[in-house]
Amino acid sequence: MMRIDACCIFMETIDRIAKLFSNCKENGRSAFVGYVCACDPNFDTSLLICKSLIENGVDILELGVPFSDPLADGLTNQLAAQRALESGCCQDDVFRLVKEIRKFSQIPIVFYTYYNLVFSQGIEEYVNRSVAAGVDGLLTLDLPPEEADELVSCCREKGLKNIFIVAPTTPMERIPKIIESTSGFIYYVSRAGVTGEQKELASDLEVRVANIKKHTDLPVVVGFGISNSVQASAVGKIADGVVIGSTLVNCISGNLEDPSVIVQKIGERAKNLSSGL
């Protein structure tokens, strides 16, 4: 008899990402995608941070998987990964963190990761572990869709979403290829470069998002550089989701001496950002 994995059935039957964006659309608002690095500054505090974010308006939890060479990240998120690794965090802890979150929340969870972390474990093994833990999607930063057939195929078989990036430098003719490999949502990087807070939004953001939407019905979220509720509100009027990370991570780095203050501050920051949406 063919063995059917129960967790795969669950993932295919209940598409948490699609359901979330549908609910947001019905309520006339944009989704708040909140980023923090898993296990920053340590496992126990990270779990409390995730709980605080969920309780204070984050709709999709984007968990950075700690990596020693986070090439898409600015200094804030590089240091977050470094703190997590120095605390002893390994891949097992990241999956365990998701399992613990699943005990109290069904929020969509996306891994913000790098291909070496996937490939080194074996693609099928990594996907199976992600699904079993309760992960909804993978955003593999350094894997272009042209090289991602094996991962995309395995994820589709297991019910895991693949989120790919469109950048300001992406040629228009390449967008359909990216969309062809994408599921869950499209991630538009609002500026060239790495993650980090910015004082101003890109002036051509509305045009760029509209160009992507000409090719797909998938939700389009915008990230990189959004740092306050005014910016979040402006982006939320254009895009289906707003990704905010560095300004949340700074609540951790600025209060390392007291985990309870971290949890309080990051909850307050998330609540304020959520009000902009």
Catalytic residue ranges:
62, 73
Distances (CA, A) of 221 to 36, 115, 175, 176, 232: 17, 21, 15, 17, 11
- DSSP string of the chain? -----HHHHHHHH--HHHHHHHHHHHTT--EEEEEEETTSS-HHHHHHHHHHHHHTT-SEEEEEPP-S--TT--HHHHHHHHHHHHTT--HHHHHHHHHHHTTT----EEEEE-HHHHHTT-HHHHHHHHHHHT--EEEETT--GGG-HHHHHHHHHHT-EEE-EE-TT--GGGHHHHHHH--S-EEEESSSS-----SS--TTHHHHHHHHHTT--S-EEEESS--SHHHHHHHHTTSSEEEE-HHHHHHHHTTTT-HHHHHHHHHHHHHHHHHT-
